[in-house]
Structures are given as C-alpha cells and as structure tokens.
Amino acid sequence: MKTELSFSPLAQVETELLAVTAIDTQTAKGPDVKPEPVLLTSDAAVRAAAAAVLATGEFKAGANETLLLHGPAGLKAKRLLIVGLGKKSKATAHAVRNAAGTAVRYAKPRAIRELAFALPEPPADLALDLAAASRAAAEGAIVGDFDPDTYRSERKDVSVHSFTLAAPGADQAVIRAAFNTGVIVGESQNFARTLVNEPGNKLTPTVFGQRAAKMAAEVGLKSEGYSTEKLHELKMGAFWSVSQGSEEPPALIVLRYEPEGVTEGPVLGLVGKGITFDTGGISIKPADNMEKMKYDMAGGAAMVGAMRAIALLKPRVRVIGIVCSAENMPDGKAQKPGDVQTAMSGKTIEIINTDAEGRLVLADGLTYARSLGATHLIDAATLTGACVVALGMINAGAFSNDDVTIEKFQAGLATSGEKFWRLPLSDEYYDMIRSDIGDIKNTGGRWGGAITAAEFLHAFAEDTPWIHLDIAGLAWIEDKKPYIAKGPSGVAVRSIFEWVRSYE
C-alpha cells in the first residue's frame, strides 16, 4: 500500500473515496433520546454534502458505523464515506485507528483502490491528540488492508493501492513524523501477521529463522541462527526436549539492535515462543481446531515484528530479540509425561504434560537472554487456554515481577490501543508447581493455569525485571471485524515497541 499525506482542503482532495469521521455528541440517556452525530471536520463543503443525510437520523455515528454518499456536491472526491467513532467520550486515537481500518475494509470489496482519510478535527471539548491520531490512522489503514487468503489459487487483488491521510491546517512536521511512525509500526504488525498466517508445512522452524534473517538484513539488524548443535552446546535441555520428537530441527533465532553510540544503560531482552506447529506431543490435542496450532508461534512473530519496527524507528536503547522455534510432535523419540529435563539454568523439570511445551522453550530463551546481558525481559506466547478462560478474547494476560517495569508497559497501552490485564504472581502459586522428583513441574493442574505457567517462567527470569504476555486469546481473530480481517492479529507488536521506547 502506498501511503501519502495531504495538507490541502478536503474539498480539493481528488480521490475515489474520501472518509471523514463523526461522533455522537448526545449525552442524555433514555428510550426517546436520539443520537446527535457531528462530523469532525471544519470543511464547509464536506459538512454541506453530508447535512441532509445526517438530518434524517439514519446515521448514528456508532463505532465503525459507515454511511456512503456518491457524487457529493462541492467535493472533488467521487464518494464520501462517513465513519463513526461512537460517543464523544470514546473518541480516542484507538477509535481513529479502527475507523481508518474500517474505511479501508469498506473500500476493498468494492474495488475502490485509493482513498483519503480525513484526520479528525476535534471540537474544543474533545481531548484528541492529533499526532497520536495520525499515527493510529496509518496503523489502522495498513492493518485493515491485510487478508489471510495467501494460498487461494484464484486470489484476486482487492487491496487498497493508495492511502492518503488528509490533514488540512495541521502542523505538517508533527503530523508527518507521527504518520511515518504509524506506517512502520503497521507494516511491522502485518509482517508478524504474515508469519503467523503461514501453515506449518510452509513455515518450519528453519524457514522461520530464514524469514527473520532476511528481514534483519533488510532493516539493518544483526542476526544469528542456530539449531540442534547449539542447543546441546548451551545445554538447553528444556528447549531441546520439545523439538526432539520432530524431524524438523529447532531454530534458535537471535536478532540484535545496537544503536550507534549507546554502550551503557539497559539491555532489553525480547523472548518469543515460536512453536510452528503444536500437536501437543504425546499428550496429544483433540483433532477439532488443531489446524489453528500453526499460530502457536505468534509470540515469536510478535517479537520479530517488534524488532523490525525498532530497527527502522531507532530508539536509543539496546535490544536483543530471541525466538525459540520448534515443532511439538508425537514421534517415537518425543519426550513423555514423567520425563525429567534439565534446563540451561540447571533447574530440573518434571514433564507432567507434553502439551505444556511453550514454557519449556521460553525457560531456556529467558536464561539465554540473561546470559547475553539482558537487564530487562519481556516474553510473549500463546501460552495457556486458561488465560482465555479467565479473560476471554478481550484482554491478553500480563504478569510481572517488578512494578516499575510493568507500569512502563501499561503506560504504553494508551498509545498501542491493545488490551492487557495484569494477573497476580505469588509464592502460593509457585508451590503448585513444585516437583517431588525434580525442581519444578511443567504444569500445576487445572486451577490458576495461566498463573502457574507464569510462575514457571518467573523461576527462570529470577530477579531480572520481567514481563510475561500470555496472548493466547488475542493472537487469532475468530470473526472478522469492520476494521480487521479474520485470522492472525499481530497482537503485542505495538505494545512491545512502546515498552522498548519507554527506555530511551
């Protein structure tokens, strides 16, 4: 998608489709109260073109609600699309992100290949940061243009070829910088989605490593790729135990971002679970929906996507990205329930369930990140169904052993627009995974499963400030939304990037 900026008056923008936003300013409540939609633009021609239809009450300005006008009088645009942001109190930068995505997805099936999206002009009583909205609009448009039908034999090009953010009267330097950031972050999120979308026979651990290395070369990251021999050299018994049942070798992917002149300060370690297909191993999963287990590398993809954004936007902090990638298969060589594995840290792990494999690869990934000098850690994984039971598909889970570190992450959510809910850690939960035969068990039973999984990882992060993101409920979108397609979401790329930027 080609992305551009325009600072011309909206009425002068020549485009197939001009999208403008609207809010519902009605604050009263009651069965007879009607919405009061107001366009977020001062352009007199646009307001005049939409006045008659807005007066009918047909359009209520609900979140992502759309209304199309053909041949709007007084405009050079061929069509005018009004997109709702919802109630005034809900008109945030994230609402703008979704509105831009909605406009793109509205255009795609209608063979509209170019559109302009008007940056909202908020009234005095609406606190909407225009720079944040500009960045969000770029992200939303790019994310909205992605579709998962990669392998359809008669795939048609229904993409939007050109997206213009129209920002008349705005501070051009500020808007341009914010917009460019949004383009990079949106493209990086889509890069992660592209990886997650790949089937297991196309994206093996080896191919995952190759795709990450190719991206790294393109954006200026240092990259290293290792496999079985390196795992044995590092004594990564937990990571290796997951991969030993597959004919596909594992991949230890290392990406390094080292900004020029930065030799002191924190080193951030980004660790992702990269299980390119998860059968559950000997503790095999039910057949229903197993095909979705290609997405079990979404945490690793999020880290690779975040590293891409970091390389291009150049925050002044050192970052190491690590992805531990493997297949979890039920071969005759596969590990069995009851086995005991020795992790890189020296801790011994009793295997209760081979389907609790993500925490095993992350255990060695966290230890390895610390050995490379990481002073702060964040991991992301489609780790537990228990987290989905607890939070549904609305929030992802977040855990941390350090309040300052998690507060930095949570502060960035206002910018990323993603939803994470902090869940607890405590010694009582750790007691549930103590092993009789070894140091620790890889599951603690049914109750509190997301928390005991986090406590397992906590044992390997130890005292290093650390965040764990359990993204199992948000990494795959089950039903399409007005602003994003069904399929991989790329969740956590934006939030991880914001967390990294907070250390500049």
333 CB-contact burial (10 Å; exposed 0-12 / middle 13-18 / buried 19+): exposed
| pLDDT (tens digit per residue) in 267-312 | 999 999 999 999 999 999 999 999 999 999 999 999 999 999 999 9
CA distances from 381 to 83, 301, 308, 378, 438 (A): 34, 10, 18, 10, 25
State residue 294 phi and psi, 5-degree precision.
-65, -20
2-168 has which fold? Leucine Aminopeptidase, subunit E; domain 1 (3.40.220)
Q: Which residues contact 189 (CB under 8 A, 6 or more apart)?
A: 139, 142, 143, 305, 490, 493, 494
| CATH number of the domain located at residue range(s) 187-501 in this protein | 3.40.630.10
List of E strands, 262-419:
267-278, 318-328, 340-342, 348-350, 376-381, 396-400
pLDDT for position 124 = 81
Q: Which residues contact 237 (CB under 8 A, 6 or more apart)?
A: 341, 342, 343, 344, 364
Q: Is 202 a catalytic residue?
A: no
**pLDDT above 90 (res 429):** yes
220: left (phi over 0), alpha (psi -120 to 50) or beta: left
- CA dist 336 and 435 (Å) reads 16
Predicted confidence band at 494 (pLDDT cuts at 50, 70, 90)? Answer: very high
Catalytic, out of 47, 285, 419, 422: 285
On the CB side of 36, CA atoms within 13 Å amount to: 8
At position 161, the amino acid (one-letter code) is H
pLDDT for position 170 = 94
Catalytic, out of 359, 370, 494, 501: 359
Q: Which of 40, 4, 27 is nearest to 128 (CA)?
A: 40
**pLDDT above 90 (res 31):** no
- CA dist 381 and 301 (Å) reads 10
**pLDDT above 90 (res 144):** yes
Domain boundaries in the chain?
Answer: 2-168, 187-501
261: left (phi over 0), alpha (psi -120 to 50) or beta: left
Distance of CA 458 to the CA centre of its chain: 23
Tell me which residue has tokens 């994003």.
484
Q: Which of 48, 13, 21, 18 is nearest to 37 (CA)?
A: 21
Distance of CA 67 to the CA centre of its chain: 29
- CA dist 325 and 6 (Å) reads 43
Q: Is 88 a catalytic residue?
A: no
Residues 255, 214, 108, 77: is their CA dihedral positive or negative? positive
| pLDDT (tens digit per residue) in 328-379 | 999 999 999 999 999 999 999 999 999 999 999 999 999 999 999 999 999 9
**pLDDT above 90 (res 156):** no
Around Cβ 206, how many Cβ atoms within 10 Å?
16
DSSP string, 468-493: EEE-TTTSEESS-BTTB-SEE--TTH
- CA dist 473 and 470 (Å) reads 8
Q: Which of 27, 101, 16, 114 is nearest to 66 (CA)?
A: 101
Rounded mean pLDDT, 482-487:
98
Decide if 65 contacts 87 (C-beta within 8 A): no
Predicted confidence band at 155 (pLDDT cuts at 50, 70, 90)? Answer: confident
Q: Could you tell me the pTM of the whole model? A: 0.97
